[in-house]
Amino acid sequence: MDKSLFRKKTLARRKEIYSADTDAKIIEQFLNSDLYKKANWIMTYISFGTEIYTHDFIKKALADGKHIVVPICNISDHTITLSELINFPDDLEEGHYGILEVREDCLRIVDPKKLDLVMVPGCAFSPSGHRMGFGGGYYDRFLETISDDCVTVALIREDFIFETIPMEEHDKSVQFMVTEKCINCCPIQED
């Protein structure tokens, strides 16, 4: 199936079967994991729409003393700039695509090489960590800039792991997936 049709169908299904309880279980799994416990500089996305809800996660991680880093979209070239987030939600305003981003007067730019862990958003994943995102190519470009020992993690509902998903050359995979049931280690991908 064509990539954009697959994305459209997946997003429609996500709307249909949205469950805040499932999201809470996924976040709990992640908070209890060694992946989370060991990471100091964590990049998260700020969820919008029916994405896995990360707002309470951000509050908890800040309270745990983690450095929380969030993306800012550069729509001219579909790259991501990173900023540390100190006060949630006070330092945020609605940015591109209606997603919350750090306000200009609260920006604290972070080098991607500083990150220990990236939580990668996505519509669908395969068991080996292949990812389908929102179609902007933002994360495929961004994941090329992190350090080799930075861990990549997807939070995903079991229903959105598909045996195969349409892939292109540039698509970057994740190393770990956290679902409401378990934490899977994906075989390392050569990409």
Ligand X SMILES: Nc1nc2c(c(=O)[nH]1)N(C=O)[C@@H](CNc1ccc(C(=O)N[C@@H](CCC(=O)O)C(=O)O)cc1)CN2
Cα–Cα nearest to 33, from 182, 188, 160: 182
Torsion of CA 100, 101, 104, 105, to 10 degrees: 70
The CA distance from 40 to 74, in Å, is 26
Does residue 135 interact with ligand ATP by CB under 6 A? Answer: yes
Measured between alpha carbons, how far is 142 from 44 in angstroms, rounded to an integer?
A: 13
> Site for ligand X (CB under 6 A): which residue of 86, 108, 135, 185?
135
**Shortest distance, CB of residue 105 to ligand ATP, whole angstroms?**
26
73 near ligand X, rule: CB under 6 A: yes
Residue 99 lies near ligand X (rule: CB under 6 A): yes
- What's the rounded Cα separation, in Å, for the pair 124 and 132? 5
> Minimum distance from CB of 140 to ligand X (Å)?
9
Q: Among ligand X, ligand ATP, none, what binds residue 141 when CB lies within 5 to 8 Å by partner kind? A: ligand ATP
Of 75 and 86, the one with the shorter C-beta distance to ligand ATP is 75
Is 180 among the residues that bind ligand ATP (CB under 6 A)? no
Q: Which pair of structure tokens corresponds to residue 171?
A: 């698509």
139 binds ligand ATP per the rule CB under 6 A: yes
The whole-angstrom separation of Cα 74 and Cα 42 is 20
Show Cβ contacts of residue 48 under 8 Å, excluding neighbours closer than 6 positions: 97, 98, 99, 100
What x-and-dash track marks residues 157-176 binding ligand ATP by CB under 6 A? -----------x-xx-----
170 binds, among ligand ATP, ligand X, none (CB under 5 to 8 A by kind): ligand ATP
Q: Whose structure tokens read 């956290």?
A: 178
The residues, ordered by sequence, that sit 6+ positions from 56 with a Cβ below 8 Å of its Cβ are 24, 27
Interaction between residue 46 and ligand X (CB under 6 A): yes
Cβ closest to ligand X, residue 121 vs residue 129: 121
We find the least distance from the C-beta atom of residue 177 to ligand X, in angstroms, to be 16
Residues that bind ligand X (CB under 6 A): 7, 11, 45-48, 51, 71, 73, 80, 97, 99, 121, 133-136, 138-139
